[in-house]
Amino acid sequence: MTVESVRPEAQPPVAPELREPPLAGGGVPLLGHGWKMVRDPLAFMATLREHGDVVRIKLGPKTVYAVTAPDLTGALALSTDFEIAGPLWESLEGLLGKEGVATANGPRHRRQRRTIQPAFRLDAIPGYGPIMEEEAHALTERWKPGETIDCTSESFRIAVRIAARCLLRGAYMDVRAERLCAALDTLFRGMYRRMVIPLGPLYNLPLPANRTFNRALADFHLLVDEIVAERRASGQKPDDLLTALLDAKDENGDPIGEQEIHDQVVAILTAGAETVASTIMWLLHVLSEHPEHADKVCAEVESVTGGRPVAFEDVRRLGHTGNVVVEAMRLRPAIWILTRRAVADTSLGGYRIPAGADIVYSPYAIQRDPKSYAHHLEFDPDRWLPERVKDVPKYAMSPFGVGNRKCPSDHFSMAMLTLLTAALSTAYRFEQVSGSSDATRVGITLHPHELLLRPVPRD
Ligand code: HEM
């Protein structure tokens, strides 16, 4: 008899008992929590943490898992057991194409990220500096003192112009950018409706709203084809994202297909337009609602520039201005809800998640959670000072997401938003005018209902 034979047999580690996530309260027969989700989704998502770190919600007959604790949203985003899928994405794919980076998974997604990533690397951003600078200063000149600014269309316009001019360079982009704005603006309004109220063929009925939407969708796809065709016809290959997309190779080393090139341009433009536009709207709102912070931004910019027009190179020295941008994004994250689907039976935080389950979490709720932030609803840019930022729990502030689906454009967007905030606050103070409504409007992104501002020169 050997020593080994009398030892108790080594047991595989016992997996801790997985629990069923609690069901959120307040559901009603048939609709479940769907009515709450439709009536006031932000308030609903913000209350879920009271029920647990992972909770089940019922949207009609369907069970959806909501993740409410910041560390678990990080675990979700970093785990390979979850991928991008679900009804939200399927309805987007129907309109915007199936082959772009925002909806792909697995090897195709990894390859597409490798293609686009160089255009967004930290060392690529200064190359966009001159365009960002030009656009920021052109905006302060376009806005005339005393006139009313429609912040929705103006923010959209500048967001699309900067993305299109920086990433799809070419003289033709100046004209195209205006058409892109018009098409995308209409598209985003209609897309959210189609996502939350999926009436299928009813959207094909020849009603005026459907016609306008379908025209905008067709024009947008046509514009993308024109952009690609003109670049090819020009014979030029500037060092930009469009060249990277046109030269990309698939997993076998063959050129990628026309549809994928098209869908990739669509994915970049749509992902980059409304997110930035909504954030600019909220920044303008902050400048009008918190004149003390606007003054502080102005003072910081002047101390750095000595009174000359703010330049891209100044951005890294505009610490407070950057903190104003981050704090605005904390309280009003453009992307207020994110979804995933479990690809296997798995777990999160000790809770069982079955294969095929749809998971949601809300950066809005996470970033306003009183468990993570003291004075959670207060606009306090100084909470991002180095000595205080350590109090913020990990993943409690991720407006650009986490993991392999993280927004590629975080550095690009932060540079642009900081520069814009600096240029606008040194030129003007802003006041809301009558008829303006800054109530939060929930769509694909969060933005003010109809923000109307009057710029008052600083001098
Ligand atoms: C993905 C936010 C600007 C392109 C994402 C995601 C978030 C986000 C949260 C991750 C979605 C997820 O985890 O499921 C933002 C915010 C922006 C911004 C807050 C500005 C304030 C931009 C811009 C571009 C862009 C300017 C391009 C010009 C993309 C793309 C993806 C993405 C292509 C998909 C990445 C993937 O699935 O691998 N963005 N974004 N975004 N964003 Fe952004």
**Could you tell me the domains of the chain?**
99-335+402-459 (1.10.630.10)
Q: What would the pLDDT profile of 326-343 be if each residue is shown by its tens digit?
A: 999 999 999 999 999 999
Binning pLDDT at 50, 70 and 90, where does residue 8 land?
very low
- In this structure, the residue with its CA closest to atom 24 of ligand 1 is 272
- In this structure, the residue with its CA closest to atom 42 of ligand 1 is 407
Task: For 55, list phi and psi in degrees, rounded to 5.
Answer: -135, 150
Atom in ligand 1 nearest the alpha carbon of residue 334:
19
Neighbour count for residue 109 (Cβ, 10 Å): 18
Q: What would the pLDDT profile of 102-154 be if each residue is shown by its tens digit?
A: 989 999 999 999 999 999 999 999 999 999 999 999 999 999 999 999 999 89
Task: From 442, 413, 336, select the one nearest 122 (Cα to Cα).
Answer: 413
The pLDDT assigned to 171 comes to 65
Interface confidence, given as ipTM, is: 0.99
Task: From 348, 335, 330, 345, select the one nearest 66 (Cα to Cα).
Answer: 348
DSSP 8-state assignment for residue 144? P
The more confidently predicted of residues 444 and 135 is 135
CA distance 188 to 290: 29
Q: What would the pLDDT profile of 265-286 be if each residue is shown by its tens digit?
A: 999 999 999 999 999 999 999 9
Pocket-testing residue among 278, 407, 410, ligand 1, by greatest number of atoms within 8 A of Cβ = 407
Residues within a 6 A CB radius of ligand 1: 101-102, 113, 163, 167, 267-268, 271-272, 275-276, 279, 334-335, 338, 399-401, 405, 407-409, 412-413
The pLDDT assigned to 184 comes to 85
Pocket-testing residue among 113, 275, 336, 418, ligand 1, by greatest number of atoms within 8 A of Cβ = 275
Neighbour count for residue 163 (Cβ, 10 Å): 26
The answer to whether the CB of 37 falls within 8 A of the CB of 31 is no
Ligand 1 geometric centre to CA of 406 (Å) = 7
CB hemisphere CA count around 208 (13 angstroms): 0
The pLDDT assigned to 16 comes to 66
- In this structure, the residue with its CA closest to atom 43 of ligand 1 is 407
**Residue 151 in marked binding region:** no
Q: Which of 11-25, 28-42, 76-90 is the least confident region? A: 11-25
Q: Which whole number is the average pLDDT over 226-234? A: 92
The pLDDT assigned to 178 comes to 78
